[in-house]
């Protein structure tokens, strides 16, 4: 199989973790006789610095003509700390989502037995957690009309949703639930917000078309609590843009590290794959960032291409690294391995498929010596 992939390194640790994904995709291509063609593009703070535009026209054109997009991270403190900034890195990502109509963000949340001790939750709550969040991505308050009064003493953000926007992502969520444990939870704030009442009305009407899927409804404040006290109850969570943004970041701590979780943003055409973590500028260039979220995002991309065996092998390799404590500094601050070393170990697993024969002395020599 031959595929064209647009690569957007982005900001902060984005280039480092995305490069490991590319190396691993190359290992997959070699093992399974595929061909992946990469085109590198600018977006975010890096693009602003070089072009003045967070999403250059060339980047958008490349993305539109690719089979998928592999994205690193976005954001920089010089923009985060300047409330007067008119151009921001995140505008590039929002514009890209809108231009490509990437209306659904899919974030799987799973726990690994080897990392249960890292979760702030008790082990009895994190064992066998496995759910997926479907977050609407191109509507709601993030894309509504934004206004300030002339005095600068009042601001507003408009939240708007249409039936069509809700139906298209709800269909995806229902279909995905059918492939899992046949349960869907709609998270809203229908006791207060009119947009949430529309969400609930539409999903209730659609539920009749999916009689095999059990549907329940939960207010967002309760959902935030339930993610902590009983995350195993969830299978597929469906929610609007801002609620999904917040809840998916909250859910990331269940796994033990923000650096472990991948995501896919899909719509009617080209899809985008990215780890859920931010740009983490404090770690940029130090070779200590966790690449596994980016690597697992690449696995989701292979799933999207229909390459199920290839995606499964990447996940198997990631599980092997965690089981054998080949982890980065965010997981073990003392005995950790570098970003590049984790990538190399996964590549070796994919190329050789003999992880049990990796000499312990060899991997010990590849531990970080950073103090």
Q: Catalytic amino acids?
A: 142, 189, 221, 245, 249
User: Helix (H, G, I), strand (E, B), or coil: what is residue 278?
Assistant: coil
Q: Which of 318, 300, 302, 298 is closest to 310 using CA atoms?
A: 302
Could you tell me which of 333, 336, 334 has the C-alpha nearest to residue 363? Answer: 336
Contacts of residue 187, defined as CB under 8 A and 6 or more positions apart, other chains included, come to: 218, 219, 220, 223, 237, 238, 239, 243, 244, 247
CA dist., res. 39 & res. 229, Å (int): 44
- Here the tokens at position 21 are 């994904």
- Angle in degrees, 0-180, between the axes of helices 339-352 and 308-323, rounded to the nearest 10: 130
Helix (H, G, I), strand (E, B) or coil at 31: helix
Other beta carbons less than 10 A from residue 362's beta carbon? 10
- 163: helix, strand or coil: helix
Tokens of 79: 């923009």
Q: DSSP 3-state assignment of 227?
A: helix
Helix crossing, 308-323 with 14-32: angle to 10°? Answer: 120
Alpha helix locations (H) across 101-235? Answer: 123-126, 163-178, 194-207, 220-229
Q: How many CA atoms lie within 13 A of 309 on its CB side?
A: 6
Select from 16, 96, 25 the least CA-distant residue to 54. 96
The DSSP bridge pattern shows strands 35-41 and 68-73 to be: unpaired
Residues in the chain: 371
Q: Which tokens sit at 31? A: 């093992």
């Amino acid at each position: 199989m031959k595929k064209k992939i647009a690569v957007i390194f982005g900001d902060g640790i984005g280039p480092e973790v995305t490069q490991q994904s590319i190396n691993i995709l190359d290992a997959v291509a070699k093992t399974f006789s595929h061909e992946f063609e990469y085109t590198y593009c600018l977006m975010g703070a890096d693009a602003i610095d070089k072009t003045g535009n967070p999403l250059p026209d060339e980047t958008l054109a490349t993305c539109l003509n690719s089979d998928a997009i592999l994205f690193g991270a976005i954001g920089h403190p010089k923009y985060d700390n300047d409330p007067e900034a008119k151009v921001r890195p995140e505008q590039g990502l929002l514009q890209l989502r809108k231009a490509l109509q990437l209306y659904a963000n899919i974030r799987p949340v799973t726990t690994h037995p080897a990392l249960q001790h890292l979760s702030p939750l008790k082990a009895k709550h994190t064992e066998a957690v496995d759910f997926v969040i479907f977050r609407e991505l191109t509507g709601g308050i993030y894309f509504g009309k934004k206004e300030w009064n002339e005095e600068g003493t009042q601001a507003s953000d408009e939240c708007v949703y249409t039936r069509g926007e809700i139906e298209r992502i709800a269909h995806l969520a229902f279909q995905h639930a059918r492939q899992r444990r046949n349960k869907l939870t709609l998270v809203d704030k229908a006791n207060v917000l009119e947009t949430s009442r529309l969400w609930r009305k539409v999903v209730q009407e659609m539920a009749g078309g999916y009689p095999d899927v059990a549907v329940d409804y939960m207010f967002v404040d309760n959902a935030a609590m339930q993610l902590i006290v009983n995350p195993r109850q969830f299978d597929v969570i469906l929610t609007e843009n801002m609620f999904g943004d917040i809840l998916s970041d909250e859910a990331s701590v269940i796994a033990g590290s923000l650096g472990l979780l991948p995501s896919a943003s899909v719509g009617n055409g080209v899809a985008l794959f990215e780890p859920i973590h931010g740009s983490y500028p404090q770690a940029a260039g130090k070779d200590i960032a966790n690449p596994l979220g980016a690597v697992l995002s690449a696995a989701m991309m292979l799933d999207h291409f229909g390459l199920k065996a290839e995606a499964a092998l990447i996940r198997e390799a990631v599980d092997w690294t965690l089981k054998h404590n080949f982890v980065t500094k965010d997981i073990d601050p003392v005995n950790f391995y570098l970003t590049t070393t984790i990538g190399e170990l996964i590549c070796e697993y994919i190329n050789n498929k003999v992880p049990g024969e990796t000499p312990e002395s060899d991997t010990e020599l590849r531990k970080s010596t950073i103090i």
